[in-house]
Amino acid sequence: MLESIGNIFKIPELKKRLLFSFGALGVYRLGVHVPTAGINSEALKSYFEGQQGTIFNFVDMFSGGAFSQFTVFSLGIMPYISASIILQLLTVVWPTLERLAKEGEHGRKKITQYTRRGTIALAAIQALGISLGLEAMQAPGGQAIVLSPGWGFRLMTTVTLMTGTAFLMWLGEQISERGIGNGISLLIFAGIVASLPQALVMTYDQLSHGVMAPLTAALIAVVAVVVTAGTVLMQQAQRRIPVQYAKRVVGRRMMGGQSTHIPLRINTAGVIPVIFASSIIMLPVTAVSFLSETQFVWLQTFVNDNLRPGALLYSSVYVAAIVFFCYFYTAIIFNPMDLADNMKKYGGFIPGIRAGKRTAEYIDKVLTRITLAGAIFLAAIAVLPEILIVYVNVPFYFGGTALLIVVGVGLDTVQQIESHLVMRHYETLLKRRRIGSRR
């Protein structure tokens, strides 16, 4: 393992990418602690202390702790994810966007531009709603959270939070382009990981003072190990479809006649469905939380009772969203018809299946079945620990969603690092072979 880490820093390009990613994540963590103006920080802290175990913790987890402190990055990267979901859904139902998606690099750039504009619009709407909600809030002692309510505070807060989200969107894109891993996922990953030391200290204090039983701590460790092992297993699991290539004569050479396989991943979408589902479920809950407490008491009561982690309605909506996005995202990134056409073009076929349309139907059938297994696994891992949180009083940071994202993003980043190492290894071999042949 130490040798592998040493090899990473021996490759200049990979070393540069890693250092850039660490530097960008460091900038993100610094920005999490930059407060916005016009807020009574003590009153805000008192208010959030009374919201432990609610959806506010869930929102705060995705913002890396910025939401509870109301800093410039309070909205986090979730408006970008929401805009991405909307654009991807519109791509399926809107012919203009569908044509753009098929135009290659040019179409992808246009859709990215639309996503950025949608992010800014959503961030502005959410920031204005939050500023209005904060003006109506009071700390448990009756203190006002906003020092000087009015349009001055609302406009300043909207511009501040909107700018913070725009900066995070740019930072995530820079990590994806110039660093290692998916930048947006790594920002969420960094926010969750930064909260884990505090959770460990809390758990230790509860054990020391007898608040938490040793059996509960053991249960936490078992759940963490099971989620980690299960995520690694499902991320690496494949359904291999055998493929045979017919022999053909090209010039004076005989080509083909090989046997290979198509590796279909059980969980093709990775942890993206979990992130998307979390974004969807947080939007209405966050909006309702900032409504006037006197005019919308019934709506807030309904949300607090039914859309909290561990509640039946919350779990049902969360599971349905995860299953939907598993199929939706898999359908976007994997096209069985294109794969079948490419196989037919090069003389490949699945034994016992006619080439062309029949092959595409067979691959689609297999992919549908294994995606269901992957979706059920993701939903179970995301929801079951949340139920333990409610009924066994486990600290919120050990939720299945957090562990799924941390393990999934970590695996994806490690795989990208390994691909760079393998590519460098092949380049070295090719250089040696060329030198040897010249001799």
According to the model, what pLDDT value does residue 389 have?
A: 65
According to the model, what pLDDT value does residue 438 have?
A: 40
More confident residue, 358 or 437: 358
- Residues near 291 by beta carbon (within 8 Å), at least 6 away in sequence: 133, 136, 299, 300
Domain spans in the chain, listed from the N-terminal domain onward: 34-182, 213-439
Cα–Cα dist 55/58, whole Å: 5
Q: Say which range, 207-221, 283-297, 329-343, has the weakest mean pLDDT.
A: 283-297
Cα–Cα dist 37/161, whole Å: 11
Q: Which of 215, 218, 225, 193 is nearest to 381 (CA)?
A: 225
Question: In the beta sheet, which residues pair with residue 238?
Answer: 265
Q: pLDDT band at residue 435, thresholds of 50, 70 and 90?
A: very low
Identify residue 107 by its one-letter amino acid code: G
Count of alpha carbons within 13 Å of 343, Cβ hemisphere only?
Answer: 29
Largest interatomic CA distance in the chain: 89
Over its C-alpha atoms, the chain yields an Rg (Å, rounded) of 25
| Maximum mean pLDDT: which of 18-22, 181-185, 254-258 | 18-22
Q: pLDDT band at residue 9, thresholds of 50, 70 and 90?
A: confident
Q: 147-185 pLDDT, tens per residue?
A: 888 888 889 999 999 999 999 999 999 999 998 888 888
Residue that the structure tokens 């725009």 belong to? 166
- Residues near 135 by beta carbon (within 8 Å), at least 6 away in sequence: 145, 146, 149, 153, 154
Average pLDDT, the chain: 79
3-state class of 182 per DSSP? coil
Share of the chain above pLDDT 70, in %: 81
Buried b vs exposed e over 69-89: b needs ≥16 C-beta within 10 Å? bbbbbbbbbbbbbbbbbebbe
CATH number for domain 213-439, candidates 3.40.50.720, 3.40.50.300, 1.10.3370.10, 3.40.630.30: 1.10.3370.10
According to the model, what pLDDT value does residue 119 have?
A: 92
Cα–Cα dist 148/222, whole Å: 49
Count of alpha carbons within 13 Å of 436, Cβ hemisphere only?
Answer: 6
Cα–Cα dist 8/23, whole Å: 17
Identify residue 62 by its one-letter amino acid code: F
According to the model, what pLDDT value does residue 205 have?
A: 83
**Pairing status of strand 238-245 against strand 253-255:** unpaired
According to the model, what pLDDT value does residue 257 have?
A: 61
Cα–Cα dist 252/76, whole Å: 61
Q: Quick one: average pLDDT of 413-422?
A: 81
Q: pLDDT band at residue 25, thresholds of 50, 70 and 90?
A: very high
Q: Quick one: average pLDDT of 283-307?
A: 65
Q: Quick one: average pLDDT of 132-139?
A: 78
Q: pLDDT band at residue 84, thresholds of 50, 70 and 90?
A: confident
For the chain, helix, strand, coil in percent to 5 are 70, 5, 20
Q: Quick one: average pLDDT of 92-105?
A: 80
3-state class of 260 per DSSP? strand
According to the model, what pLDDT value does residue 195 have?
A: 79
| Maximum mean pLDDT: which of 340-344, 369-373, 421-425 | 369-373
